[in-house]
Amino acid sequence: MLIKTNTGLRSSEVTDEVIFQERRDSLRLIGGIMALGVAGVAKGGTVDQAASMARQDALAASNERLTREQDIAHYNNYYEFSFYKAPPSELAQAMQVEPWVLEVGGLVENPLTLSIDDLLRLFPPEEQIRRIRCVEGWSGVVPWLGFPLFHLLKKASPLSFGKFVKFTSVMQPETMPNQRDQKMLPWPYVEGLRLDEAMHPLAMLAVGMYGKKLLNQNGAPIRLVIPWKYGFKSIKAIVKIEVTDSLPLTSWNQVAPKDYGFYANVNPEVPHPRWSQATERPLGSAFYSPRRKTELFNGYAEEVAHLYAGMDLRQLF
C-alpha cells in the first residue's frame, strides 16, 4: 500500500505526463489561493528523504494510478443535487461558493469565523495524495490540496470535555434541488468524528484538487477528506464545525443505522447489507476489468488502527 504519504510524493510522479502538463498550465493561471498551494507542494522537498523514497517505491510496486480528474469530476455523490452520479457536475455549477463563511465553535475556548481567504492564509494547503473509497464499491486516488484538520481545531482549542466533532454542510435550497424536493435525507447534510479521529494528521480539510480550486461538485469551497473511512464521511461544502460532548447525529446513520455506522471505517470483512465490501472498482476502469481488493482502513491501517484498539469493528462499523 502507498498513498498514505502526506508529503514527499508529488502527483507529477504518479500521473501521466500529459495530464500533469495540463495541470501545470492551469496552475500558472490561478492566482492567490493556488500560489499558496504551489508553495505547499514545493515544501514536499523538506520531507525526510528516506521516507519519501520508500513511499515512491511502494507506489511503483503497486499498480495504482492517480484517478483522472475527469473521472472524479463527473461521477459524484452529492445528494443535495441528485441521487444519480452524472447530474451533480452540471447542477452544482449554480452553487454560490463566494463569499463563504466557516464557523468553528461549540465546546472550544476560541470560536472562529473565517473566510476561505483567512483559512488559506492561516493554513497554506499542501498537495496530499489520498485514496477515496465509497461504500458503494468504487474508489479513487486523488491529489487533494488541503491542510490537516487538527491545525484548525488546535487554533479553536477544544475544551477538555469535548469528545466529538460535528460538521455541517451548507443549506442552499435556491441552488440545491433536493433540499427543496427531497426528504429522503434530512438537510443539512451532517457528519461527525470522534475528537481523536479528527485530530489525526490524516484527517484533512481540502480546498483544492489536481492543483486547482475544488470544483463545486467535489465539495467547494471546503470539504473533509477522511481517507480511511467510507466516502460519505468526507462531507462537502462545510459551513460549520462544532466540538460536542455527545455523539453527533449524522445524516446517513440517522436515516439507515443498520446500513451506515457512525464510524464507517473501510473494512473488507464487514459487508454492507447490499454490497460486499471485499473489493472495489477504481474509477475510470472498465466495469468488466478485475476489481481491486479493498484493504482494512482503506490501506491506512498502519497509521490509524491504534485509534480503534480494543473496539469490535463488526459491532462499531
Ligand X SMILES: Nc1nc2c(c(=O)[nH]1)N[C@H]1C(S)=C(S)[C@@H](COP(=O)(O)O)O[C@H]1N2
Where do contacts with ligand X occur on this chain (CB under 6 A)? Answer: 72, 76-80, 134, 169, 189, 218-219, 231-232, 234-237
Q: Measured from the CB atom, is 45 or 271 closer to ligand X?
A: 271
Cβ-contact 137, 274 below 8 angstroms:
no
227 scored as a contact of Mo ion (CB under 5 A): no
How big is the CA angle at 113 (ends 110 and 118), to the nearest 5 degrees? 110
Q: What are the residue ranges of helices labelled H in the chain?
A: 17-29, 32-42, 49-61, 69-74, 87-91, 116-122, 149-156, 177-181, 195-198, 251-255, 301-304
Partnered with residue 190 across adjacent β-strands are: 168
Binding flag, residue 37, Mo ion (CB under 5 A): no
In sequence order, what are the residues at sequence separation of 6 or more whose Cβ sits closer than 8 angstroms to the Cβ of residue 116? Answer: 33, 98, 100, 102, 207, 221, 222
Give least dist CB 275 to ligand X, A. 13
Segment interacting with Mo ion, rule: CB under 5 A, options 67-75, 76-84, 162-170, 203-211? 76-84
147-163 as b/e: b if 16+ CB within 10 A = bbbbebbeebebeeebe
Q: Residue 145 has which C-alpha cell?
A: 490540496
CB closer to ligand X out of 34 and 224: 224
Q: How far is the CB of 235 from ligand X (least distance, A)?
A: 4
Residue selected from 134, 202, 225, 243 as contacting Mo ion according to rule CB under 5 A: 134
Q: Which stretch binds Mo ion (CB under 5 A): 87-95, 109-117, 137-145, 223-231?
A: 223-231
Interacting partner of 219 out of Mo ion, ligand X, none (Cβ under 5 to 8 A depending on kind): ligand X
Q: Which does 234 bind (CB under 5 to 8 A by kind): ligand X, Mo ion, none?
A: ligand X
From the list 80-88, 208-216, 224-232, 289-297, the region that binds Mo ion by CB under 5 A is: 224-232
Q: How far is the CB of 91 from ligand X (least distance, A)?
A: 12
Say if strands 238-244 and 164-169 run parallel, antiparallel, or are unpaired. antiparallel
Q: At closest approach, how far in Å is the CB of 245 from ligand X?
A: 24
Parallel/antiparallel/unpaired status of strands 223-225 and 238-244: unpaired
Binding region for Mo ion (CB under 5 A): 77, 134, 231-232
